[in-house]
Amino acid sequence: MAAITQVKPITDVPSQLSASAAPQDPAFYQDPYPFYARQHASHPAFFWEEYGHWCFADFKSVSALLRDKRFGRDILHVASREEVGLPEPKPHVADFDLAEKYSLLNLEAPAHTRLRTLVNRAFVSRQVEQLRQRIRQLAHEIIDGFEGEESVDLIKAFAAPIPAIVIAEMIGLPAEMAPQLLNWSNRMVTMYMYNVTRETELDANQAAADFAAYLRDVIAERRKAPREDLLSHMLTTDRDGDVLSDDEVISTAILLLNAGHEATVHTTGNGVKSILESGIDPQNLFATAEQAERTVEECLRFDAPLHLFTRYALMDTEVDGIPLRKGDVIGLMLGAANRDPARFAHADRFDPFRTDGANVSFGAGIHFCIGAPLARIELQEAMGVLFERLSKLRIVEPPRYGDVYHFHGLETLMVGWR
């Protein structure tokens, strides 16, 4: 999830293949889809001026490049900093960098294979299926807490708490820690914004330091008294004599906590908005398990929670006639790919009954989201309970997206149900 930026400038880009959209312009991040539509109609592979690297917006290319072994999330396993022009690490974000050092999302094989193998078991479908009842219970409890109000911000009141509590309990942290975990997580992910300030870096670094210090204390307790939780599993799993270090466990726990709620929160908010704005009776969308699954997949496609995922070129290569140097960055535009008119009929229409459904919202290849099965169940059950309990749910104020462009999620979603 760490931000990847182009270091060596790219020159000699044909003007017709260059496009401009300011990531921090509210007119853009509140609705990036017109920009995507223009690129689909002209050049789905284009040079994004503000980011300074090539991007790919069509479904076929994004899906293929996510699996393409010529590209990776890390570059330093195949090149030195000097070779590709990467600057030295910033001392004032050392704690943040340490928290990211062993992140599954940034590692490449064989380090990625080793770490993912040791934690994957907890997230396979048959394991997370057992959490359906707990998720429904949480959804009912949270609605019980605000049902008497006239209106609420659904993001803070409903979308955020459920996945934070679920992933905390899976890892082995108390549910009452969820608000603090969210605080740390939200401050850390500001590092992935476009054009980050030093002030933001310092605050994110402090959040990472506090998060890691808390986890070190919990790890010390688990080493003395293991439990039936993911943290204990990571500490005690022995694969041919291979065990995880404390730093590896901390990086993995922080990634799971951050990523384990971020996409689900965004998809819940974006999905509820899409459903309510579509005019379709929500009762028809969660009436059966099969239709609930199709509805969630369409929510993930129509208004994806992550819009831009970057990779390094691991060698000098070429894509669609575009020459790339070792160390160059490419942007894979997940949100745009999901609206590709060459792949989806009426791509800009929310249609939970469509028969050509698919999406790249969880990525693909070795970095396919490890928590995808859990996120899908959380979305199916939480939104199902929400529309079951609040059948007259409606939007009462214009929704507003947060200003972290590539994490595309609503900052607020004010709803009423009377």
CATH of 15-416, one of 1.10.630.10, 3.30.429.10, 1.20.58.220, 1.10.4030.10: 1.10.630.10
Q: Could you give the CA distance from residue 103 to residue 248 in angstroms, rounded to a whole number?
A: 8
How much is the pTM? 0.93
Residue 122's pLDDT band (cuts 50, 70, 90): confident
For residue 276, pLDDT beyond 70: yes
Let me know: does 285 contact 253? Beta carbons within 8 Å. no
Instruction: State pLDDT tens for residues 203-226.
Output: 999 999 999 999 999 999 999 999
CB atoms within 10 A of CB 183: 13
Average pLDDT over residues 40-51: 96
Average pLDDT over residues 40-67: 97
Phi, psi (5° rounding) for residue 307? -105, -20
Let me know: does 250 contact 222? Beta carbons within 8 Å. no
The residues, ordered by sequence, that sit 6+ positions from 370 with a Cβ below 8 Å of its Cβ are: 104, 116, 119, 120, 123, 256
Q: So what's the pLDDT on residue 127?
A: 79
Residue 2's pLDDT band (cuts 50, 70, 90): very low
Rg of the chain, C-alpha, whole Å: 21
Residue 346's pLDDT band (cuts 50, 70, 90): very high
Tokens 């579509």 found at: 278
Phi, psi (5° rounding) for residue 285? -90, -15
Tokens 């330091």 found at: 209
Q: Could you give the CA distance from residue 280 to residue 289 in angstroms, rounded to a whole number?
A: 18
Residue 3's pLDDT band (cuts 50, 70, 90): low
For residue 329, pLDDT beyond 70: yes
- Output DSSP code: residue 242: B
Q: So what's the pLDDT on residue 399?
A: 97
| % of the chain residues with pLDDT over 90 | 75
Tokens 């059948």 found at: 391
Q: So what's the pLDDT on residue 6?
A: 72
Average pLDDT over residues 52-75: 96
Of 281, 254, 273, which is closest to residue 167 (Cα–Cα)?
Answer: 254
CB-based burial, 262-300: b 16+ in 10 Å, e otherwise: bbbbbbbbbbbbbbbebebebeebbeeeeebbbbbbbbb
The residues, ordered by sequence, that sit 6+ positions from 238 with a Cβ below 8 Å of its Cβ are: none
Domains of the chain: which residue ranges?
A: 15-416
Kindly report the three-state secondary structure assignment for every residue of 348-393.
Answer: CCCCCCCCCCCCCCCCCHHHCCCCHHHHHHHHHHHHHHHHHHCCCC
Q: So what's the pLDDT on residue 1?
A: 42
Burial of 418 (0-12, 13-18, 19+ CB in 10 A): exposed
- Residue 178: both structure tokens together: 């969820």
Average pLDDT over residues 261-285: 95
Phi, psi (5° rounding) for residue 152? -145, 160
399 or 115, higher pLDDT: 399
Average pLDDT over residues 274-301: 96
Q: So what's the pLDDT on residue 15?
A: 86
Strands (E), 123-224: 151-153
For residue 404, pLDDT beyond 90: no
Q: So what's the pLDDT on residue 405?
A: 87
Helix (H, G, I), strand (E, B) or coil at 110: coil
C-alpha distances out from residue 318 to 13, 69, 323, 369, Å = 14, 13, 4, 27
Average pLDDT over residues 380-388: 97
Element (H, E) at 330: strand 329-332
Least confident of 17-31, 139-153, 231-245: 231-245
Average pLDDT over residues 111-130: 82
CB atoms within 10 A of CB 82: 7
Which residue(s) pair with 401 in the sheet? 410
Q: So what's the pLDDT on residue 105?
A: 85
CB-based burial, 41-50: b 16+ in 10 Å, e otherwise: eebbbbbbeb
Query: Mean pLDDT over all residues of the chain?
Result: 92
